[in-house]
Amino acid sequence: MRHFLNPLDFSVEEIDQVLSLAEQIRENPEHYAHVAEGKKLATLFYEPSTRTRLSFESAMLNLGGKVLGFHSENSSSAAKGESVADTIRVISCYADIAAIRHPKEGAPLVAAQFSRIPVINAGDGGHQHPTQTLTDMLTIRTLKGRLENLTIGLCGDLKFGRTVHSLINALSRYTGIRFVLISPEVLRLPTYVIQDVLEAKKIPYRETTNLEEALPELDILYMTRVQRERFFSEDEYLRLKDSYILDKAKMKLAPKDMYVLHPLPRVNEISVEVDDDPRAAYFLQVQCGVYARMALIMTLLGLTPTA
Ligand code: NCD
């Protein structure tokens, strides 16, 4: 039985296969509309979410499967003190596959150790968010036609942004990738990611606080929200929340084929006036998320179309 807790749980070949399957599903959704009939996905969300949970549910429904679950800690037995280990043992009797989001780093890994069904990490604290990464990779492949030889700018909260950590992990296995890390000093990428991933794999990167200066050299700009819920002090959050605001004027500094991604939700970091720019790709990204999750569910459950 396979789980998907970190993008590195799959080899590069396996990731590429999932992305290719997602592209086939996008070409011909009808062909896949019944592959998960009789199967159930449980969404166990201990943290708020709109996109990720509904995207998983939409993905399973699109495959002809069914969904069940809870959408907050308070509406589950966690409020009574049940452990993640016990919850997943119980859910293993109700569903065929589970997607778990949890504020504590490592909670999906604990769940996987006690689970009888495949577990997908739908975001754990400030750690990893591997299905957002599949989404991001599918979007980049759709827009750029490749995952190699790209300069990727990551901008905003690189410290707590789990989508950033997972994306760096995943892309660092492709050739010719360079990262420009754009953040305020106090929200820099954690040392463990710099040392264990970028330095260990000799991936070229540079750190800067200046978005304008970085823009002209980027193929992809990945904007992120300052992660309010992970701050110890509200004052610190207020001081940092508007560190970067991408607007029309800044987009003039960017190449014509530099696409803007954002995992959403957006707060202020991308001005709504950018939405009409043909390089704004964050809503396309949402659509890619459904196909990527459909392909992942099929892969983990070993589902194939009949004809
Ligand atoms: C991201 C997350 O939850 O980490 N959102 C998402 O899953 N689409 C990013 C964020 O919350 O800022």
Per domain, the residue ranges of the chain are 7-128+289-301, 130-286
- In the residue annotation, 101 being an active-site residue is answered as yes
Structural domain 130-286, CATH architecture: 3-Layer(aba) Sandwich (3.40)
Catalytic residue among 43, 52, 142, 151: 52
pLDDT at 38: 98
Q: What is the pLDDT of residues 147-180, one digit of tens each?
A: 999 999 999 999 999 999 999 999 999 999 999 9
Residue 109: which H helix or E strand, with range? helix 107-114
Length of the chain: 307
Q: At what angle do helices 130-144 and 12-27 cross, to 10 degrees?
A: 70
Q: What is the pLDDT of residues 16-26, one digit of tens each?
A: 999 999 999 99
Residue 150: which H helix or E strand, with range? strand 150-155
Cβ proximity of 136 and 7 under 8 Å: no
**What is the mean pLDDT of the segment spanning 48-68?**
95
Instruction: Measure 48 CA to ligand 1 centroid, in angstroms.
Output: 10
**What is the mean pLDDT of the segment spanning 123-145?**
97
Q: What is the pLDDT of residues 193-252, one digit of tens each?
A: 999 999 999 999 999 999 999 999 999 999 999 999 989 899 999 999 999 999 999 999
Flag the least confident range among 40-44, 50-54, 86-90, 244-248: 50-54
Domain 7-128+289-301 annotated CATH 3.40.50.1370: yes
Give the pLDDT band (50/70/90) at residue 307.
Answer: low
Same CATH topology for 7-128+289-301 and 130-286: the answer is yes
Catalytic residue among 3, 71, 129, 159: 129
